[in-house]
Amino acid sequence: MATLHSDAFEPGPAVGYRPTANEEFMNTEQLAYFRMKLLGWKEAILRESRETMTELANGPIQEADLTDRASSETDWGIHLRTRDRQRKLISKIDAALRRIETGEYGFCEVTGEPISLARLEARPIATMTVEAQERHEKNERISRDD
């Protein structure tokens, strides 16, 4: 959480700003935009996680009917798996924030080419261009088939 406060005086993007291809790629305003997007996403995940933990802390499942109890336990299992996926997502968000700080954000870790703004908008934690990601996934499938 220290990162949230250490850069509090850094200027953010203008209100209503959206990155466009008509400007220098990963300029200060684009970096600030994606930083704010990532921080907002992380905060939303942490808020949901706190809510789930509060619900869990309120006590065990008390349904008398076995079917209702089984359904509730299944729901809790889904909640906990979702939280685990979100915990992993937070580490990817933190890695993206570190890439912003080091100047590596927005560039493919395989080819070094810029990742499209549309891809970063849809998946701000992306580390590869669509083409590099497709090659990576194809190679993974081939490896699994061996």
pLDDT at 3 > cutoff 80: no
Query: When comparing pLDDT for 76 and 59, which is higher?
Result: 76
DSSP character at residue 23? S
Identity at 85, one-letter amino acid code? R
CA 60 to chain centre: 30
Give the pLDDT score at 38.
98
Which tens digit of pLDDT belongs to each residue from 80-120?
A: 788 888 889 999 999 999 999 999 999 999 999 999 999 99
Q: In CATH, which superfamily holds the domain spanning 23-105?
A: DksA, coiled-coil domain (1.20.120.910)
Which tens digit of pLDDT belongs to each residue from 31-73?
A: 999 999 999 999 999 998 888 777 777 766 666 777 876 777 7
pTM metric for this prediction:
0.76
Distance (Å, whole) CA 61 – CA 56: 9
Task: Give start-end residues of each CATH 1.20.120.910 domain in the chain.
Answer: 23-105
